[in-house]
Amino acid sequence: MALNPKIRDWRDRRVWIVGGSTGIGAATAERLLAAGARVAVSARGAETLEARFARHAECLRLPANVLDTATLESSLAAIVARWGGLDLAIACAGTYGEMRAIAPDAKAAREIWRTNFEGAFNVYTTCLAQWKAQGGGALALVSSAAGYTGLPNSLAYGASKAALINLAESLWLDLARHGIAVTLINPGFVDTPLTARNRFRMPAMISAEQAADEILRGFARGAFEIHFPGRFTRGLKCVALLPHRLRFWCIRRFTGA
């Protein structure tokens, strides 16, 4: 049985993608626009939002920072003023930086934790009152397969994504009975500006457009967790189930760390 309502017809569905100016969020916004959804996109960089979505006159471009709740609130107010409500918010904003435990950077770690976790939390709390008032809604949190288990050189990012996975599970358990669907999106490696600076090998990498297709397929199934590409995420899920001795051996072997 599907854990969330299946979304197959996107026509006139009101969707807000926070972190939608580039990469996975932007590609998903474009797929949703093509499917007939009403789409609003937010990110800090107003110019990037304009450049990417200017040709979609119907797409609302609403600059916002997930760490500045006033900007999220004013964006949501603009959406509700235009469309009368909000059906789905996708919290996609995220940041990444490789970090080794032997040389931690507390300031950079805090920025990663805050953007990835607190930012998503802020999107949820911003939308909640609106969904209560309209009698339901849906939230999707973009976490990562990096949250399944500890990984080398992933000191701050992995922890932020593990926390998001836990948050999504808690939210589903609490909100389903209030008519608010919660979806967890766990990508593997996707070719975006976020991964462009990585110097290590990224197995099973897919394009942002392929990621967007996977996301839409997941919503059509009514899945709680949408993870992709399966050949990578399923393998990592299995590794995460192993006892630690075996798990650490596998991770070291595969990453060469």
Ligand X SMILES: NC(=O)c1ccc[n+]([C@@H]2O[C@H](COP(=O)([O-])OP(=O)(O)OC[C@H]3O[C@@H](n4cnc5c(N)ncnc54)[C@H](OP(=O)(O)O)[C@@H]3O)[C@@H](O)[C@H]2O)c1
Contact residues toward ligand X (CB under 6 A) are 19-25, 43-45, 48, 64-67, 92-96, 115, 119, 142, 144, 187, 189-190, 192-195
- Tokens at residue 142, please? 């973009």
Q: What are phi and psi of 229, to 5 degrees?
A: -70, 140
CB of 194 to ligand X, least distance (A): 3
CB of 188 to ligand X, least distance (A): 6
CB of 177 to ligand X, least distance (A): 27
Q: H or E stretch including 224?
A: none
Q: How far apart are CA 14 and CA 4, in angstroms?
A: 17
CB of 44 to ligand X, least distance (A): 3
Nearer to ligand X, 172 or 189 (CB): 189
Compute the Cα dihedral for 200, 203, 208, 212 and give only its sign.
negative
Q: What are phi and psi of 57, to 5 degrees?
A: -55, -30
Beta strand pairing call for 88-91 and 180-187: unpaired
Q: How far apart are CA 187 and CA 144, in angstroms?
A: 5
Nearer to ligand X, 10 or 157 (CB): 157
Nearer to ligand X, 97 or 136 (CB): 97
Nearer to ligand X, 4 or 21 (CB): 21
- Tokens at residue 179, please? 């008519």
CB of 118 to ligand X, least distance (A): 10
Nearer to ligand X, 54 or 133 (CB): 54
Rg value, the chain, Cα:
18
CB of 65 to ligand X, least distance (A): 4
Other C-beta atoms closer than 10 Å to the C-beta of 110 total: 12
Residue 6 makes CB contacts below 8 A (sequence gap 6+) with 219, 220, 221, 222
Nearer to ligand X, 135 or 142 (CB): 142
